[in-house]
Homo-oligomer: A and B are copies of this chain.
Amino acid sequence: MDIKVIAFDADDTLFINEPYFEETQEAFCVLMEDYLSHSRLEQELFTNQIANLPLYGYGIKAYILSMIETSIKVSEGTVSMKHITKILDLGKELLQKPIELIEGVEETLAALHGKYKLVVATKGDLKDQQRKLHDSGLGHYFHHIEVMADKEAINYQKLLQRLDIQPQELMMIGNSLKSDVLPVLEVGGYACHVPFHTTWAHERIDHEVSHPNFKALTDIRQVLDLF
């Protein structure tokens, strides 16, 4: 391996994220439970989010807009303005959640810092991701943050171009096989998977990954054994 840049996913790799979305989704379902069951609401919201992805992209603002749209749709326009206000509030709360580091992250970064160029490679709201990295106190370990519109092979191609490196000089570490591993292997890079206990439905894949450039880990600290 001739790795120059190690890229870390942020949400649920460096700090917890999905549990906060799940909390917000639960609050949304409680708010709207007069109209539909929780499971149907979750399904409607998910369908709406995916339909809006091409226009809105990822991140909390897109999520807020999809919650508002879903609330109007499932209530057939009869939801009250108090509900809309509450959804806006839920979104603002989600944008201000505390940062909780995942175990082992800081010692892993401290050990790699200075030996490799470390970057954050994440999708979502630019503003929100920068806020979270800042609040995490991890900012000084990283050369910079790359906020990506999506994490498909084409986006990693662009990342390699921006970083001016060859594919085999990149290692990506993250909790999503779909976003952090498969497209990186596709463009010729190295990838490590560190699973988190919960994964958004959109990020799940249903097959095993086996590839010479791939390593499945159970703890982020195991990255250090590779170098």
Binding site for B on A (CB under 8 A): 55-58, 61-62, 64-65, 68-69, 72, 77-79, 81-82, 84-85, 88, 91-92, 95-96, 125-128, 130, 143-144, 147-149, 158, 161-162
Contacts and interface: CB of A to CB of B under 8 A. Distances in A.
Given A68-B68, A81-B77, A161 B143 contact: yes
A57 to B, nearest CB: 3
B162 A147 contact: no
Contact of A126 (B72, B81, B126): B126
14 contacts: A55-B95, A56-B95, A65-B88, A68-B84, A68-B88, A72-B84, A77-B81, A78-B81, A79-B81, A130-B149, A143-B161, A143-B162, A144-B158, A162-B162
Copies of this chain per assembly: 2
Main SS at interface, chain A:
helix
A2 B149 CA distance: 33
| Most chain B beta carbons < 10 A, residue from A64, A77, A125, A130 | A125
Contact of A88 (B69, B81, B130): B69
A133 to B, nearest CB: 11
Closest 7 CB pairs of A and B: A57-B127, A61-B61, A77-B81, A144-B162, A127-B149, A130-B149, A55-B95
